[in-house]
Structure 1
Amino acid sequence: MGESPSNPSGLTFRLADDRKLKAIYVPAAEKASVNLGFLRHALVAGGFADLFIYDHALVELIKRYNAATQEFVYDVGEQRDGTYIIRNTPDNIEAYLTLTRPYGGKPVCPEQLHQALREQGVIYGVLTDEIETAIEAGEATDLLIARGIPPEQGTDAELVSLIPQARDRQPELQDNETVDYRDRGEISSVKAGDPLMRRIPPTPGKPGTNIMGKEVPAPPAKDLKFTPNLPGTTFAPDDPDLLIAAIDGQPVLVANGVMIEPVIKIKNVDLSSGNISFKGSVDISGDITPGMTVRATGDITVGGVVEGATLEAEGDIVVRGGIIGPGENRDPKGKSGQERALIRAKGNIEALFVENSLVEAGGMIQIAGFAMQSNLVAGTQVVVGQEGTTKGHIIGGSCQAVSRIQAVTLGSHAGVHTTVSVGVNPHVKEKLSTVKLKIAEAERELDELTKRLDYFASTPLKGSPEQINETRQAKDKLVTALSELKGERKRLEKRLEQASDALIRVERAVLSGVVISIGTKTLEVKDDMEGGITFRLEDDAIVASQ
């Protein structure tokens, strides 16, 4: 391989001492027709087909040839040896090889790679077979060629509740998908000395070995301590990891512990009592009159009727009578020109009936009689009605739950618009959309960085070592961030998978004007449907079965 044979075009190729492939033109008596096919044939004939040809060089050569009136020399390519890059992960647990094939030059040999690994301090976990396979293939991209042993993390500390029935007051779902409304449960209570929570200390992990042959300490297991000064509690005299009750009262699970709450008892909430805001649970034996507000960090129990009032609890809300709002439709926030009726609990909500009100529960909503022109939102399920009775109507308004809605009848014969939906947590759905947008943007940026690195690899003179290093670091950082975003997307999608198990169960009838939604699918009921009906999502469509 030195110089291509002469030809009538006056154009020849020669490999210079600096390994550049030069096109040499010496004017001939008459120019020949030169095109890309002619040039490629000339390169093969001269033994230069394996050399690296610069982008657009042959097209530029044709232009110069056609315009030339005197001799010229033009670089169209070069001879390149095979190259390699060995990259250690930041924790030196793995090493990866990127290998490029030669262009008319010398290929990379195994000895070069092994020597490079030694120079980088890699002496442990070298994968010889993978290196040989890469050499035989002539090229590789991010191929794992050395692997250490990652450390194993120990077991994190745990705080285990010893009061499993605390806050678990909703009736249990039976095997026949019915609810025993006679067993409503009671607010849990403890006596002084009762065990509340046990701390299980962390255990040590197992160290690993990196590819430098050095021991990698196991990451420390996370410790967990009880929150200090938990009201109404103390530690067992002979066991500092056991939290016990110091007084009689209601146990409430809080972050890293349990606290014992006293309960305030009131006859009625009206102008004579004023609004109630209490750090604990509130037991109201009578009624709550319009315009009043009751807030509690524990439970709220009402023996009578709640009329046009606001109740907010961090625990459960139980209304033995009904919940009555104004006689007009309400906006999504429960506001109107009259006194508002807003019932909101982080736990469960129980009531005899609900009318013209906004009811939001982090757990379950259970209504014995009916829900009329109200907005019901539950974090788990909504059950309206009692087994074996004709009560249990949801008429007008909206009803939303994550896993299940059960009622005796949906809608009314007057065709009142009634919306019932399960299978989607609106807060999780909104967050998932945001994460998906961030992933799309990260993938776009990653594609641009990858193309830039490929460009630098194919045209070394175009990128300085600093530019290449900065681009590679930016890519590595973006890969890590993208992995975390995809993990978050997977966790959120898993939380939305409840749609596949979510259902709406109606014991007697679904009347026209009802809109059924499961997950992202919607079904509008045009004609009355009689008999026990269950709506589920099957094959990405809402199916009604009896």
Structure 2
Amino acid sequence: MRREVIVEGSTYNAALERGLKALGTEPGKAKVEVIQEGKTMMGIVVKPYKLLLYVEEESQQAEESQGKRPPQSFALEYKEDGVYLTVFIPPSKFTKSDEETIMHHLRRKRIEGLKADAVAQAMYINPGRPVKIAEPQPELPVDEEVFVYISQDGMQATIMLLPPEGGRLLTYQDVVQALKDKGVVYGIDEDAIRQALNSRRYGQEVIVARGQPPQDGEDARLTYHFNPEKKSKPEIREDGTVNYHSLDNIENVAKGQVLVTLTPPTPGVDGKTVRGTTVPAKPGKPLALPAGKNVVVSDDGLKLLAAIDGKVEMIGGRVHVYSVHEVKNNVDNSTGNINFVGSVIIHGNVLSGFEVRAGGSIEVRGVVEGATLIAEGNVVLRKGLQGMKKGVIRAGGSVTARFIENGNVYAKGDVTAGVIMHSNVVSGQYVRLIGKRALIVGGRVHAVLGISASTIGSPMATATILEVGVSPEIRQEYEELKGELQRLEKEQQKVEQVLAVLSKMESSGRLPPDKLIIKQKALRVRNEYSVKIPTIKARLFELEEAFLRGAQGKVHVKKVVYPGVSITIGQSTLNIKDPIKYVTFLRDEGEIRFVTYEG
């Protein structure tokens, strides 16, 4: 760090002495450059000496030096012919802060008849040269001063001492009173005040009071005692083949087992500024236990328990427990169609023309022919779907199959398969082809978030349509849910109005039997809506997120995509004319372009 001053003197030594004093250093420690040679004529100074003095210091040494004896940036002299001001800061380094410091000192000195133009001349025109700024007058003593500064957030108060000039020193009580005058009443550090008065490092801010910041409350949190992210995910062997027998997709629970624990939010602790103003803490955000089907809430409201033995699943943001229905053989004439509230496991095939419905998940360990499978949860086909152009699978979760051929598959979650051939597949998230072949050929495959495969299309230019983004089916679901939510919220408002009227009547006396029946019915509807409305809102939020992410979806091709394939992302479409290998397709500025494989 370099400190420098420009000074004038009638002789070289006079100018040098003034410069050393301004820098607060000793002879030999400052470097000197002569800016102007002095000149005398018959003992009269015609031209004064003008010198530039500077010292080079390490930053730490500079700080220590300034702490003990700050360099003199200006000097005030009371002479017989007037009061003179000399500014030692070169014009190129003179700042607004320097001007404020000098002007404050002049006000402290209470100089009468101060000439503003002369002060400006000393600061900006004649640095290093004494300039007369007032007529002769006695120098008045200046008491030691203290300034109090309060931070913008009110959490800190600092003081800065200014040195006396012939006046009295501040006492501890003076500083405390100055703090009180500024409204500082909390968090005062008495030791810091005494230390500041003992060290008296003028011009430096010292922290003497600290507020107490508010401690915001902790949000409520849910602890799951099962894996809520569990999905049907087949094992991929080292040789690239897929083991559809090892899915680990069922988590069984017993009646009374704790599924979720709720830790309530905390209110937080209010803070206080140095002025004693209370700063309110933000309370933690509450959460509700995600109660679904076949679960109960504990008496203290902090635990979610299984109401039956069965399989626990997280669907639509809520925890459900489903009992599992097993079919040991085929779904055929011996079983008829199946409609079950829980999950279904079928050890054989599902023959053409039959229907299986499940409130949970469906697992088929044989082949699904031209049948219909509808599940609120996941669908797992250990072998696959031979749909015969009429097979349909609908899942509220994901669909996993070894192959999908000549079928129709609709899933709100992922669709994962080894081969998809001549089928109509719609996924609310990703379509992923895995295993050695990982092939899509023929038909239409639509995914909201993205598609990945090794091979798409065929050397015979088989027409194959790939779409990424929001499907018409999903947009229709979104609009239907919005309408349903509006209807339920209006109904909920009516129920609350009815309950308010009945409550007012009840406060005046017992309700008649007919009004009591109405109240009980209204309470049941309120409880029903308290579950339905948050569920719909959660699904709408998921769909809105899907709309945003769909425009950023990609198609990943690990091996090759053939001519005859049409790729649509958002509103843009690209028809493949030539084989392209190891590529990722994405939408950029309204067009589809391809880059090196990113999958």
- The structure having more radius of gyration, on CA atoms, is 2
